[in-house]
C-alpha cells in the first residue's frame, strides 16, 4: 500500500481549491470510487480544509456535518483510503476521488456503502464482486479470529498448513477434471479458490495485485 500526496506544490493545491464550487455551507460532495474496478464505495462531504488535507496527505479526509469536525477515514476502523486520483466534475461542484481501499468502506462492515440492490432478492451475490468480497471477509477473519470459524483455524495453524491445503485442493481439482466429473470440478475449484485467497491474505497479497498481473498478460 503506497501512500503519496496528490499534489506536492502548495500553489497547485490553492489553485485547485479555487476551482471548486463549495456550497453555502462551505461543503462539496465527494464520491469515492475504487480505483481498481470503479465500484462506488461511499459518498461523503469535504470542506476546504479536509480537501486540502486529502490532497497533501494522499488519504481521504472528510467533514462531518453532525459533529461539525474533520475526520480521517480509517482513523478508528483501520479501513483507510489511499487516494490514487481526484477529479472535479464539469460544474465544479462535485468531486470524484479514486482510491485504493484498505479494508471495508462502510461502517456496517460491507465493502461498499451501496451494497443493497433494489429489486434483487435478499442475499443475491454480485458475481463481479465475489472474489474481492470473499477476500475482504477472510481478511477480517484474520484480524479478528472469531471462535468457531474454519478460516480462523487455518490462520491459527499457520502458513504451512494453509499452503498444504491449497496443494491438496489443487490435486482434487485435477482428479475431478480427469474423471470428467462436472459437479465435483465445480465444488473442488471453489474450495481451491477459497484456500488460495486465505493464503493470499496470509502473505499480504491483494486481489488488485493479481488483477494487475493478469492484465499484463492480455498484451
In a domain, 71, yes or no: yes
| Domain encompassing residue 146 | 130-216
pLDDT above 90 coverage of the chain, percent: 63
Q: Do residue 93 and residue 171 come from a single domain? A: no
For the chain, the domain total comes to 2
What integer best gives the mean pLDDT of the chain? 90
Q: Do residue 140 and residue 79 come from a single domain? A: no
Confidence (pTM): 0.58
CATH number at residue 84: 3.10.20.810
In a domain, 116, yes or no: no
Q: What is the pLDDT of residues 58-87, one digit of tens each?
A: 999 999 999 999 999 999 888 899 999 999
Q: Strands, DSSP E only, in 9-125?
A: 27-34, 40-47, 61-64, 69-72, 81-88, 95-101
Find the range with the poorest average confidence among 14-28, 65-79, 127-141: 127-141
In a domain, 111, yes or no: no
Q: Do residue 84 and residue 33 come from a single domain? A: yes
CATH number at residue 199: 1.10.287.1080
Amino acid at each position: 500500500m503506497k501512500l503519496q500526496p496528490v499534489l506536492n506544490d502548495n500553489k497547485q493545491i490553492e489553485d485547485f481549491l479555487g476551482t471548486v464550487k463549495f456550497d453555502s455551507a462551505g461543503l462539496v460532495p465527494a464520491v469515492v470510487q475504487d480505483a481498481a474496478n470503479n465500484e462506488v464505495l461511499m459518498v461523503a462531504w469535504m470542506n476546504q480544509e479536509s480537501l486540502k488535507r486529502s490532497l497533501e496527505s494522499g488519504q481521504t479526509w472528510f467533514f462531518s456535518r453532525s459533529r461539525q469536525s474533520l475526520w480521517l477515514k480509517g482513523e478508528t476502523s483501520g479501513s483507510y483510503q489511499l487516494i490514487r486520483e481526484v477529479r472535479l466534475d464539469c460544474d465544479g461542484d462535485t468531486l470524484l476521488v479514486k482510491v485504493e481501499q484498505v479494508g471495508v468502506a462502510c461502517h456496517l462492515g460491507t465493502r461498499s456503502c451501496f451494497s443493497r440492490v433494489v429489486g434483487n432478492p435478499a442475499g443475491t451475490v454480485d458475481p463481479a464482486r465475489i472474489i474481492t468480497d470473499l477476500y475482504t471477509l477472510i481478511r477480517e477473519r484474520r484480524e479478528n479470529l472469531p471462535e468457531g470459524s474454519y478460516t480462523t483455524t487455518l490462520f491459527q495453524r499457520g502458513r504451512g498448513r494453509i499452503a498444504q491445503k491449497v496443494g491438496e485442493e489443487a490435486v482434487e481439482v485435477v482428479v475431478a477434471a480427469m474423471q470428467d466429473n462436472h459437479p465435483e470440478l465445480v465444488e473442488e475449484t471453489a474450495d481451491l479458490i477459497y484456500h488460495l485467497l486465505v493464503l493470499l491474505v496470509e502473505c499480504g497479497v491483494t486481489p488488485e495485485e493479481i488483477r494487475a498481473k493478469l492484465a499484463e498478460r492480455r498484451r
